Homo-oligomer: A and B are copies of this chain.
Amino acid sequence: MKYISSADIENLDKVYRINLINSITGYKPANLIGTVAANNQTNLAIISSVVHLGSNPAYIGFFSRPGSVPRHTIENIRETGYFTINHIHSSFIEQAHQTSANYPRTVSEFAQCGLTEEYLHNFKAPFVGQSQIKIGLSFVEESLIKTNGVVLVVGKVEFIILPDNVLQPNGSLDLSLADDVCIAGLDTYNKVSPITKLPYARP
């Protein structure tokens, strides 16, 4: 077994450290966040930190780190108040990954990366045409982590669009029917297949 102390981590090469710490939390969800600026310039960013925050009302969040590529995303959300979350499937992994490149705010990752801007139900923010599972959200709150300036962006679910067959009789989603992928570290995209479904646990 390998033992890596906090002092070891501080002394690591920067890229090695980023790879390590981005890997040690386990597998991450793969989503694209779509936004639009006040001047109507659209933006699309791959985000692996989307989290469930509450079911009633339905709140979802994601993290924005100071100076990181998704900063255009949070700027747009502050300006226009809406964003979309779009699941990534195995059919468009390369295009989704390409949105992590550091494009200037004056170009749209939709056009640059070959993904389709889609407007649905008069919602202000753009969805990804290639994605089968889409969520429209309104901006609720920014929660600051004082320790390192990271911001949790909180949104309320305004609506969900998904294929009929993915929605199961008990309300859960069979993500494998949409070929959803998950992410390991910063660069590895993975296929997922169910092993088991377990009943509600009681003591």
Interface residues of A (CB under 8 A from B): 1-6, 9-10, 12-31, 49-61, 63, 65, 85, 87, 90, 93-94, 97-103, 112, 121, 133, 135, 140-141, 143-148, 150, 152, 154, 156-164, 167-168, 170-176, 180-182, 184-203
Contacts and interface: CB of A to CB of B under 8 A. Distances in A.
Q: How many copies does the complex hold?
A: 2
B20 A172 contact: yes
Nearest to A193: B191
A133 to B, nearest CB: 7
Contact of A198 (B49, B94, B150, B154): B94
Taking chain A's interface residues, is the majority helix, strand, or loop, or is none over half, making it mixed?
A: mixed
A132 to B, nearest CB: 8
A184 B190 contact: no
19 contacts: A4-B159, A4-B161, A5-B158, A6-B57, A13-B171, A15-B170, A16-B171, A24-B135, A26-B29, A90-B195, A99-B201, A101-B201, A102-B202, A152-B152, A172-B184, A172-B185, A173-B184, A184-B192, A190-B195
